[in-house]
Structure 1
Amino acid sequence: MSIITTTEQLASFCERLSNVDYITIDTEFIREKTYWAKPCLIQIGHNSKATAIDILTANLDLTPIFQLMRNKKIMKVFHAARQDLEIFYKLMGEIPTPIFDTQISAMVCGFGDSVSYENLILKLFNRPIDKASRFTDWERRPLSQRQIDYALADVTHLCEAYEKLLMQIELSGRQSWLKEEIDALIAPSSYENNPYEAYKKIKSRNPDQKTMVVLRELAAWRENIAKQINIPRNRIIKDMTLLEIAHQRPLTIEELKYTRGLPPKSIHGDRGKEIISAIKLGLNLPKSKWPSPPKKTKLPRGVGPMTDLLKVLLKMRCEDHGVASRLVASASDIELIAGYGETADVSALKGWRREIFGNDAIRLLRAEIALAAGQSKVMTVDLPKITNNK
């Protein structure tokens, strides 16, 4: 059976998997015209065998899948799981657990930053995957056999990848590294989309507090509308137009008409009135409830060269230890270490990251070690201790 279209088939299939140690999972969806991703197909595999569930089938009860997702004895294996987890969170109201993400695991094992599924399979098994159907219309029915084969391949190869990566992580003793990343991935707060946080995603240069409080209300209004009618937020009003309204703060429909880029349907009728109401709501809030502009850390002058040296050290140490540099330190971490040294409050100076990179980063700043190039590679060299002789 390669595709399931009835509740009876689904219940039987999930029952057979209820006692296995792991399953591999992927989803096919469309999102171009909607706020929420619309899932069209769920693929589940085990021991290199897979089945697809056509969840667009009328009257298909997904309860057996949800029970499988809630089974704590079964490891759920995904690749780049965030979008899939968001879909399940929307469908069943919770995050499937426990999970194993092969993209994160590949980073822990040194296969590079955010390695794609096809590149991971190529690196692990020297096996190319046909991704020609990646942008196919998954909502259209009936599905072609080529679509079904493509979808199933996404979870069959994942079985082997999971087993191999799990073995590498256990042999290297890096389970705690992986757990830290997975814990962040499965936090429900990552999938709740608080409308009053939406304004933080809109880029603005040096906004004042009055602009920020109005923008927060406008962005929350737009987010709620987008969720209710299920269309992308920028199809209601684009970010730049929303930011312009927050800057200008029109208080009447007549003033709102002069906003560049605002569609006529967003001026007349209910939407125009709602925009004006959001502006007034923001302006009428007490200043104690206004959001503060994002803080920009002012780095000391002249840290650029040291930042560059630390980036070289990071790349070298990550290659030595076989771990993706993105897991160890971000670009902002590097800048803060260059500017503030030991006092920088960054994850790169804590725990296993400090052991791999942080300790040497501090030693480089203190001129206790230097970077040297030779024999087509970079290495660290201990420097003699400098003493002040008076």
Structure 2
Amino acid sequence: MITTTEALAAFCARLASHPFVTVDTEFLRETTYWPELCLIQMAGPDDAGIVDPLVEGLDLTPFFELMANTAVVKVFHAARQDIEIVVNRGNLVPHPIFDTQVAAMVCGFGESISYDQLVSRITGAPIDKSSRFTDWSHRPLSEKQLDYALADVTHLRDVYLELVSRLEAEGRGHWLADEMAVLESRATYEMDPEDAWKRLKMRVKKPVELCVLKHVAAWREREARTRNVPRGRVIKDDAIYEIAQQQPRDAEALGRLRTIARGWERSAQGAKLLEVVNEALATPKEEMPRLPRHRQAPEGAQAAVELLRVLLKMTVETENVAAKIIASSDDLESIAIDGENADVPALKGWRRDLFGDRALKLIRGEVALRFTGKKVDALDL
């Protein structure tokens, strides 16, 4: 365990001399809005260590400097939450990065493969899962727990090197560029409270209900951040839906809602919430938000989507790549309805070469699907 700033600086200096470093973090966030960083694990080609960020007085600056070092590739598995911690604690997004889960999809290991499954398939090494649900904030940690944590980055070295080799051999390295650009964008990790309503299911049917929903969701997001508690600790999603539909203007009306705990309507939080609701209800009618409208697909479009889905499945099997990284269900629907005018990733770059052009030919009637030799293939007409 690295517990001093001096030891951390020396460790990061050694890692910075190599072309890549594997990184993982252990954290807790069940009771907080921001994840509580409990461990940092890192490894280079011939070095590995664990940093204890809970040690009083430990300065993590050397770690953040390494994350910002553009000469070193930062390798993660399922990177988003680890990067979120670096953004929140270090005010930077690591660059460049390599996410082995995304790379595994490109290399034909299926969709969203877990770390232990990927390690097993590439290296054959078993992963002891018994420490998976450890309380990483507890000290001291046992040797077994530390071994488990360190294995998250030591095996990752072999996984990374194997995936890079496969990507180079198949000429697919550039396929990762779009996905890594999303992970390296600061916007990915910065939620504007005014956009918090987008996390919720659309259970409202009127503009005024949507207006209240937006205001209350933004208020909850700000409260959760300020108090550093999970969103549900401020107010639950079901309560937001009910408030949007019932639009209580005073404590008495708020107290009648089934999703509100008895007496909460008279609390300081309840008073703030009522202010937000009344502010939303005071919005002029012409300024009320419009309800998002799901486009009505023309007759027969769903059948076209199913044909495109078969073509996608054929492409996945032929090219040995995960469907998720080529086209989403929304992509297929847009192509079926809008054709060449569909503004979707599946019709851009390497995805178009791999799937998009043939998908357009299919909906134009220039390609037929046929069942032959106990499998489906495509026939140019």
Question: Which one of the candidate residues 335, 338, 342 is aligned to 1:337?
Answer: 335
Q: Is the 8 Å Cα contact of residues 318 and 356 (structure 1) preserved in structure 2?
A: no
Question: Which one of the candidate residues 142, 146, 149 is aligned to 2:147?
Answer: 149
For 1:287 and 1:190, the matched residues in 2 are separated by 33
- Which residue of structure 1 aligns with residue 166 of structure 2? 168
Question: Which one of the candidate residues 35, 38, 49 is aligned to 1:37?
Answer: 35
Deviations 1:210-232 (A, max 9, x none): 11111111111111111111111
For 1:313 and 1:148, the matched residues in 2 are separated by 46
For 1:201 and 1:315, the matched residues in 2 are separated by 30
- Which residue of structure 2 aligns with residue 73 of structure 1? 71
* Cα drift, residue 350 of structure 1: 2.0
Deviations 1:92-151 (A, max 9, x none): 111111111111111122221111111111222233222221111111110011110000
Task: Give the TM-score, by structure 2 length.
Answer: 0.96
For 2:127 and 2:49, the matched residues in 1 are separated by 18
For 1:48 and 1:201, the matched residues in 2 are separated by 43
For 1:234 and 1:15, the matched residues in 2 are separated by 42
* Cα drift, residue 284 of structure 1: 2.2
For 2:199 and 2:43, the matched residues in 1 are separated by 36
Q: Using the TM superposition, name which of 345-354 and 279-288 deviates more.
A: 279-288
* Cα drift, residue 287 of structure 1: 4.4
Amino acid at match of 1:178: L
Amino acid at match of 1:71: N
- Which residue of structure 2 aligns with residue 312 of structure 1? 310
* Cα drift, residue 289 of structure 1: 4.3
Report whether the alignment pairs 1:128 with 2:126.
yes
Q: Is the 8 Å Cα contact of residues 48 and 157 (structure 1) preserved in structure 2?
A: no
For 1:38 and 1:24, the matched residues in 2 are separated by 21
- Which residue of structure 2 aligns with residue 220 of structure 1? 218
Q: Is the 8 Å Cα contact of residues 265 and 271 (structure 1) preserved in structure 2?
A: no
Deviations 1:163-195 (A, max 9, x none): 111122223222322111100111111111111
Gaps of 5+ in 2: none
DSSP 3-state at the match of 1:378: strand
For 1:113 and 1:10, the matched residues in 2 are separated by 36
Deviations 1:213-259 (A, max 9, x none): 11111111111111111111112211111111111111111111111
* Cα drift, residue 280 of structure 1: 1.5
- Which residue of structure 2 aligns with residue 262 of structure 1? 260
Report whether the alignment pairs 1:365 with 2:357.
no
DSSP 3-state at the match of 2:49: strand
For 2:237 and 2:263, the matched residues in 1 are separated by 17
Q: Is the 8 Å Cα contact of residues 204 and 244 (structure 2) preserved in structure 1?
A: no
For 2:185 and 2:16, the matched residues in 1 are separated by 25
Question: Which one of the candidate residues 186, 198, 202 is aligned to 1:188?
Answer: 186
Question: Which one of the candidate residues 71, 83, 86 is aligned to 1:85?
Answer: 83
Report the CA distance shift for 1:337/1:217 in structure 2 as closer, same or farther (over 3 A): same
Q: Using the TM superposition, name which of 349-358 and 33-42 deviates more.
A: 349-358
For 1:265 and 1:36, the matched residues in 2 are separated by 28
Report whether the alignment pairs 1:60 with 2:58.
yes
- Which residue of structure 1 aligns with residue 237 of structure 2? 239
DSSP 3-state at the match of 2:266: coil
Q: Is the 8 Å Cα contact of residues 102 and 161 (structure 1) preserved in structure 2?
A: yes
Q: Is the 8 Å Cα contact of residues 118 and 129 (structure 1) preserved in structure 2?
A: yes
Amino acid at match of 2:82: D
* Cα drift, residue 206 of structure 1: 4.7
- Which residue of structure 1 aligns with residue 278 of structure 2? 280
Q: Is the 8 Å Cα contact of residues 369 and 376 (structure 2) preserved in structure 1?
A: yes
* Cα drift, residue 340 of structure 1: 3.0
For 2:174 and 2:284, the matched residues in 1 are separated by 45
DSSP 3-state at the match of 2:62: helix
Gaps of 5+ in 1: 384-390
DSSP 3-state at the match of 2:131: coil
Q: Is the 8 Å Cα contact of residues 18 and 45 (structure 2) preserved in structure 1?
A: no
Deviations 1:56-75 (A, max 9, x none): 11111111111111111111
Deviations 1:299-329 (A, max 9, x none): 1122222222211110111221222111111
Aligned residues: 381
For 1:146 and 1:9, the matched residues in 2 are separated by 23
Q: Is the 8 Å Cα contact of residues 194 and 214 (structure 2) preserved in structure 1?
A: yes
For 1:376 and 1:54, the matched residues in 2 are separated by 57
Task: Give the TM-score, by structure 1 length.
Answer: 0.93
DSSP 3-state at the match of 2:39: strand
